[in-house]
Amino acid sequence: MKKVLALLLISFFVLQLIAAPNVYAASLPFTALGQVVDRHGKPVQGATVILYDGIYQEIGRTVSDESGAFGFSNVVANSPGCKVKVEFKDSGTTYETSVVNTLWYPTDTGIVKFDIRDTTLEKYPPPEYGFIWGVMQQDGSSQRPLGNGVVYASSGDQKFYTFTDNSKNRGTFLMRLPVGHYKVWGQYMENGMIFQSSKILDVDVIGATNYLDSLSTTVLIPMSAAAQNPQPPEMPTQEQLNILSGYVTYKDGKPIPDQVVTLYQSTDDGMSGYLKVGEARTDQNGFYQFYGVQVTADAPDNGIVYGSKGFNITTMYTDKNGQVYGDSKKITLYNPNFVTQDPSADHRARNPVVNFTIPYSTQGWVKINTINPEITGIKLYVDDKLITDSEGKPVTLPYTAYIEPGSHKIKITAPGYDDWETPVNIVENTPTQDVFVGMTKSVVPAWVPVAAAVVILILVVVAILALLFTKRQWILGIFGGIIAPIQGALGKSLNNYKASSQTKKANRAQRAEARKAEQARMAQAREASRAKLDSKKSQEKAFNARAEQPRLPEYRGEEEEVPSMVSAREIYKKQDRPAVERIPSSYANRGPSVIPPAAYDDEPAPRAPAYEDREARAPAYEPRAPITSEPDGRIRLPRSMPIGRDQPPSASIKDKELVIKYIREHPDGVSFIQMSNDLEIPPNTLTMITKELVINDDIEKIKGLYYYKSHDSSSDDRESSVVVWRLDGED
């Protein structure tokens, strides 16, 4: 026992020796500083701050000021460390920090600065929002989670909804709501039918910053039968959005481009002002928009709230002199997932329009009054431009006109009164002295000047017409020198164009006839070959249309020594009927003319065609009827019929003689001679007649083909119409 007492005494003295330096150090004075804030980080005034040493002995007490700041000066701790505790009373409730969860701060540094996390009242002010959370399940033994269902929470006239989680078909939901009492139920759609909770739950939402601080809620949906009267009758299918928009204009109505508009949201307590949400800029039309605005809790929560909050929209305009003009509007926005009885009201609530008018103008303005309010039909003009309202009607007086800076003229008119005018000088964003209009009745009625102007106009027109009628030759003589060359040039161009068109047409027709002739020749050759193979007798009786027909010379190709212009005599010198006559160009306008064959006695008699022996054996053919003119002035050659059944159609040279004779007997000219398919003349005889403008000569060889031309009786060569016969055949 003595040994134990000895050891205790020794230990006591040793401990005293060890603790002596520390006691000395702890006894040194120090200063402690800090700030008290609430859970939103706002300073708290009037909070009690208690300072403890390392063995939890209170060594100081103070109160926070208006900025939440507090301080301890020259305090002494009995241990090497200190802690702080904050207490605050509001509405009978005490809010305090936890000493256990705060840090120890060394005091030997002389100055202690407490971390703000140790002086924050995390439950003050009490949370304005709480939670309803849980799961939606099928009612019954299966308790199947129902994803993509809808859970409703209703309080008073506010009814909000959210969708259950459909990922992995968990069916969970979470809603942050203002503190209060709510009715909760759910809806689920399957196979196009709405199933609804059979029981509506009563849930009290208490303030909390974490949903786990509140109890969970289970929404049961019976799936045995669809709801007979679902509420609401139509189940929401998607999340909604808030879209805030509007226009910013000057007070004269002109848009302000690139103007900044700022959106603020009220704090949770609704008394501490507004917190900035975002900014938008106007376009060239002064239009701005905030897309997808949400109602949220204050920091640090920042969660989406199924409720409403106040918003403040502001815009500030600075003029060129640095003066600031501002405007602001306040509205209330709801979480967009809400339901009312009026869908159109829902749309308006989610899409509010807020317009701003800046009390500034880049124009000046003047107010125009009248001392004759009884006068009707008044019209206001600024620089001769009629001023109208939004409907396009003339404005009425009194009226405030916004006008660009500078000097302008204001005019007032009214039926039966003299016009009233006055000059004004406009300065930017500055009013001009009011104008008072006093109008007097017109001495001359308003219609008199108009009638006089009409009469004068009529007299001028009559005088001009009389001058044109009586002096037309003199006027035409003045302008003739200008008009005649233009008219001549246009006429020449037109004639050239017509001649070119006719030539192209003739060339196309020529090529077409050549193709037809070649096809006919090949067809005849094939027919002759078949007949020769059948029998010798049939070969002797075969009819060669080319030999039987009286033929014109066949074209064999143009030779270099053949001139482009030949006489009609050269055309027919190989025919057996040399009496074919032509009409020279010099006699074209003197009526019919006959040139006897004796005129060619000095030339050798033309040889018969190459197939003269066959022509002698060919059956004689004459037209069945004389050539007569059609009612439209054209003539038609009658149909030629062959003698034998197996013989092809043929034509006599007399056909051409009759045509020529007919032309000679009609000195007034023949405008067109139709050679129809009824003639059945082989292609390499007289097959086509067309019309051209030709001035010189009557026979011309173009590209190896001869053309016979008969002039009409016109005296104007530019308008001479001729009949052109295209004579195909060998030269």
CATH code, domain carrying 430 = 2.60.40.1120
* pLDDT, tens digit (0-9, with 9 covering 90-100), for 243-285: 999 999 999 999 999 999 999 999 987 777 899 999 999 999 9
Domain count across the chain: 5
Cis, peptide link before residue 398, omega less than 30° from 0: yes
Task: From 179, 343, 331, select the one nearest 266 (Cα to Cα).
Answer: 331
Better pLDDT: 685 or 293: 293
Same domain, 353 and 368: no
Average pLDDT over residues 643-668: 53
Same domain, 181 and 140: yes
Sorting pLDDT into bands at 50, 70 and 90, what band is 219?
very high
Domain-located, residue 389: yes
The least confident of 142-156, 298-312, 423-437, 480-494 is 480-494
Same domain, 47 and 86: yes
Same domain, 152 and 55: no
Domain-located, residue 671: no
- What count of other Cβ atoms lies within 10 Å of the Cβ of residue 671? 13
Better pLDDT: 520 or 726: 520
Domain-located, residue 670: no
Sorting pLDDT into bands at 50, 70 and 90, what band is 665?
low
Same domain, 38 and 68: yes
Task: Report the mean per-residue pLDDT for the chain.
Answer: 75
Average pLDDT over residues 635-639: 45
Average pLDDT over residues 22-39: 76
Strand partners, 60: 51
Main-chain dihedrals φ then ψ at residue 493, nearest 5 degrees: -65, -40
Same domain, 137 and 212: yes
pTM as predicted = 0.52
Looking at residue 565, its pLDDT comes to: 42
Residue 716 CB-half CA count within 13 A? 3
Pick from 373, 402, 437: which residue ends a domain? 437
State which residues form the domain around 182: 129-221
Same domain, 90 and 36: yes
Pick from 357, 378, 411: which residue ends a domain? 357
Domain-located, residue 532: no
Distance CA 714, CA 616 (A): 43
Average pLDDT over residues 3-9: 52
Domain-located, residue 447: no
Domain-located, residue 602: no
Pick from 156, 186, 221: which residue ends a domain? 221
Residue 418's identity, in one-letter code, is: D
* pLDDT, tens digit (0-9, with 9 covering 90-100), for 533-578: 665 555 554 444 444 444 445 545 544 444 444 344 444 444 444 4
Same domain, 157 and 173: yes
Domain-located, residue 274: yes
Better pLDDT: 481 or 721: 481
Same domain, 213 and 311: no
Most confident of 212-216, 255-259, 682-686: 255-259
Same domain, 279 and 192: no
**33 touches 113 (CB < 8 A):** yes
Same domain, 47 and 80: yes
